[in-house]
Amino acid sequence: MSFVNTLRQWDEAVACVEKKDTVSGLRIFLDIEDKTSKINFNIGCLHLNNNELDAAEKAFDSSIGKDQHLAIAFFQRGITFYKKERFEESLMDFQQAFKELRGNHLIDYKPLGLMYKLYACEVLHNIGLVYAQMGKWENAQENLLLALNIRIESKFSHIDKALESILKQKLFPLVVIRPELMFKPNKHYVAELEKKDYLGKAKVISSVVPADNFSGFAPLQPQVEDVPAKPKAPEVLRALDGEPHTVLYEFIPETKEELAVLPGNIVFVLQRGTDNWASVIFNERRGLVPYNFLEPLDITVASKMVQVAPSSSNEDIPDPPRRAAPSKPVSKADQKAATTETKDADDFSKCIVKVHFLFTISICVAPGQPYKTVLSIISNKLKRPSSALTLRYIKPGSTEKVTVDESEMEVLWTCVSNNRLTLWCSATEDKTITQKKVVALYSYEASTSEDLDFAQGDVITILSTVNEEWLEGECNGKTGIFPSSFVVNHQDNQ
């Protein structure tokens, strides 16, 4: 089948879908002989909307087979696997869709004919849901917290609700694509499908030359004499400033001088200070990033060349203005905390330990330090008591996380690779707060389904702290939230 016929059928099928005639649209799509990745994607979407999951899976397989970097196809196949309760495969597809985003916050498919933006935070939202379905609540919480950190629009309030559900170990809705969305053919190609008569009918006109007996087409007119005096100056090529580096770890800025980056981002290092902070450029923004978070990237000179608008003079293009990279501001509180840590913790040449908590932190520790020293540094960084923290790591050759204690330290330090080590940290403070009892000073009547109502004098068991003004508790067989100002500690009331 020719490209013209494929284009005509594609446009006809999309028109049927837009008129809510999905049966005819699907039939026309299936009749196309040379199906592209986008056409197979459209077929998969129609099958998915009809709950024909096996046919949808086959269509998305064909779409991905023709374009292995189509993130939206991985996302849709992940939804298909989720509805088929094949959660392991669903998780792999959502993770692949996130990988194909390549560190970007979104992919806008409008230039390709699909009026949809695939956001990284919504992919992470679905990853968290799959982990929840598998009973891995900690992994679900970790992905939703990351989704909160990278969301760029306030409309994603469903992520906050999903995180609240995870904290209560409850499931939440899946993010799906609107059924009517289809990849459309290029409108310029479709416009060319109509037959056009560019010549029209021949007309006889009189000559524009006076006293000319010629009758027919007008003779050629004189050409324009004003031509450019000088040929167009060739465009000048200039290499991008700085040396390219790949970001290894996520960095969250703490001051306005620092720059947020994610793993996989490409930055250009302008200057590296003696304190191992590097001044970099990323997405036309300039800021500070720890140099230990970066790795030099070897690219050819040709790939670093970009076009620059031609200069109006023959003089050399001057170098852009530069200023010295600002040093990282250090508050008095940071200076005081730094003195309590070991001297090796300030040395960036030591081991960088990445700690996953409710958020991710990085510390520097000299390899071989005992368990109490490492725990003390993490405790000071998180501002939580050491007794409430539990550290875990993954042993070589294993996928399970093992609790860290003094007996595990010798094996733990063998896991250091390129002066880097990863730990997972959890707090046990909620276990103690669940035993806490309070007494109601006043009666409270629930105003929403999430509230907990009680009478004056009732004893309430605290389950968690929502914020400074609200608590979550259990009373008379019911669970909900209530104002903290309505209660007092049980012991204080005795």
The string of pLDDT tens digits covering residues 413-447 is 888 888 888 898 888 754 444 468 899 988 888 87
CATH code of the domain covering residue 270: 2.30.30.40
| Dist. CA 73–CA 38, nearest whole Å | 9
| Domain boundary residue, one of 375, 405, 427 | 427
Mark whether 153 and 40 lie in a shared domain: yes
Mark whether 116 and 26 lie in a shared domain: yes
CA gyration radius, the chain = 32
| Dist. CA 194–CA 4, nearest whole Å | 11
Mark whether 20 and 162 lie in a shared domain: yes
Mark whether 45 and 123 lie in a shared domain: yes
**C-alpha pair distances (Å), 396 with each of 355, 368, 390, 406:** 18, 17, 20, 18
Q: Give the pLDDT band of residue 8 (cuts 50, 70, 90).
A: confident
Residue 341 or 192, more confident = 192
The pLDDT of residue 228:
56
Mark whether 473 and 380 lie in a shared domain: no
Tell whether the model's pLDDT for residue 122 goes beyond 60: yes
Average pLDDT, the chain: 79
Is residue 415 within 8 Å of 391, Cβ to Cβ?
Answer: no
Inside any domain, residue 360: yes
> 218-233 pLDDT, tens per residue?
555 555 555 555 555 5
In sequence order, the 6+-apart residues with CB closer than 8 A to the CB of 208 are 218, 219, 221
Mark whether 452 and 422 lie in a shared domain: no
Inside any domain, residue 372: yes
Tell whether the model's pLDDT for residue 387 goes beyond 50: yes
Q: Give the pLDDT band of residue 252 (cuts 50, 70, 90).
A: confident
Inside any domain, residue 198: no
CATH code of the domain covering residue 83: 1.25.40.10
Most confident of the ranges 39-43, 368-372, 477-481: 39-43
Inside any domain, residue 227: no
Inside any domain, residue 314: no
Mark whether 78 and 109 lie in a shared domain: yes
Question: 349-358, 370-379, 397-406 — which is least confidently predicted?
Answer: 349-358
Mark whether 18 and 82 lie in a shared domain: yes
Inside any domain, residue 192: no
Q: Give the pLDDT band of residue 213 (cuts 50, 70, 90).
A: low
Mark whether 132 and 29 lie in a shared domain: yes
| Domain boundary residue, one of 286, 301, 316 | 301
Sign of CA dihedral 339, 343, 349, 350: negative
Mark whether 129 and 53 lie in a shared domain: yes
Per the structure, the complete domain to which residue 486 belongs is given by: 434-493
Is residue 272 within 8 Å of 291, Cβ to Cβ?
Answer: yes
Tell whether the model's pLDDT for residue 327 goes beyond 50: no
Q: Give the pLDDT band of residue 341 (cuts 50, 70, 90).
A: very low
Residue 217 or 491, more confident = 491
Chain-centre distance for alpha carbon 351: 28
Mark whether 257 and 141 lie in a shared domain: no
Calculate mean pLDDT across residues 39-66.
93
Inside any domain, residue 413: yes
Mark whether 19 and 163 lie in a shared domain: yes
| Domain boundary residue, one of 137, 167, 197 | 167
Inside any domain, residue 201: no
DSSP calls for 249-299: S-B--SSTTB--B-TT-EEEEEEE-TTSEEEEEETTEEEEEEGGGEEE---
Domain count for the chain = 4
How large a percentage of the chain has pLDDT more than 70?
77
Q: Are strands 117-119 and 106-108 parallel, antiparallel or unpaired?
A: antiparallel
> 136-178 pLDDT, tens per residue?
999 999 998 998 888 877 678 888 889 888 888 899 999 999 8
